[in-house]
Chains A and B, each alone.
Chain A
Amino acid sequence: GQSLEQPSEVTAVEGAIVQINCTYQTSGFYGLSWYQQHDGGAPTFLSYNGLDGLEETGRFSSFLSRSDSYGYLLLQELQMKDSASYFCAVNDKIIFGKGTRLHILP
């Protein structure tokens, strides 16, 4: 089977840095994706790691270690608009984790 584990909630302060971890168990692994979803909205794609290492896109970075079956999403210079749920997804059938709710305090 396939499974992804990520923390259910994370709280951080505006302007700070936060890391959301994701561990996975899957067959047919291609890579790890990250998505953001605001309440009531559809998920939007943030990043994809097909190879080990760090991918950077503006304030967001994502990391993958295939040998550890582990990845993380790093959000820098947090803004209030970053308050949302963040999902990791494994690219076989594109299975999602249960999501991490990010709360940002002013």
Chain B
Amino acid sequence: DGGITQSPKYLFRKEGQNVTLSCEQNLNHDAMYWYRQDPGQGLRLIYYSQIVNDFQKGDIAEGYSVSREKKESFPLTVTSAQKNPTAFYLCASSPGGAITGELFFGEGSRLTVL
């Protein structure tokens, strides 16, 4: 079945460690997005990519990095520079980005820093 797969679902990290969250889609979508969600809050955009080998910073990109080497994959690295990384991370893809308005989300990765 087509969809978006995020892994791991749960992740624990010690302070000072970098972690990479995986996001893979087989929907053949051009655009991909990473959002962060804190309890009781909305989704805040971290990075987005509208085409392979290109990505743009969102509103809260500091302390995060991404790559888009393949259309199917958009991994997110949470670096030690991110001051408060404990959150729910959501990856999404879209066939037309802003023009179609429809995002397809993965099930999310819940990161806890110990």
- How many residues does chain A have at the interface if contact means C-beta atoms less than 8 Å apart? 24
State in angstroms the CA–CA spacing of A42 and B106 once bound together: 7
Interface of A is mostly: loop
Contact with B along A18-36 (1 / 0, CB 8 A): 0000000000101111010
Does chain A have a CB within 8 A of B17?
no
A88, closest chain B residue (CB): B42
State in angstroms the CA–CA spacing of A16 and B41 once bound together: 26
A interface with B by C-beta (< 8 Å): 28, 30-33, 35, 41-45, 48, 50, 87, 89, 91-99
Contacts of A48 in B (CB 8 A): 100-102
State in angstroms the CA–CA spacing of A85 and B44 once bound together: 15
B91, closest chain A residue (CB): A42
Contacts of A33 in B (CB 8 A): 101-103
Select which of A31, A32, A42 is within 8 A of B105 by beta carbon.
A42
A93 touches B58 (CB 8 A): yes
Does chain A have a CB within 8 A of B26?
no
Nearest Cβ distance between residue A39 and chain B, in whole angstroms?
10
Given A93-B45, A97-B42, A98-B41; 7 other pairs, CB 8 A cutoff: A41-B107, A42-B106, A48-B102, A91-B98, A93-B48, A96-B35, A98-B42
Does chain A have a CB within 8 A of B18?
no
A91-B42 contact, Cβ under 8 Å, with A43-B105, A45-B104: no
Supply 10 A–B pairs (Cβ within 8 Å), ascending by A: A31-B98, A31-B101, A33-B101, A42-B107, A45-B102, A45-B104, A92-B98, A94-B98, A94-B101, A96-B42
A94-B42 contact, Cβ under 8 Å, with A42-B90, A42-B108, A43-B90: no
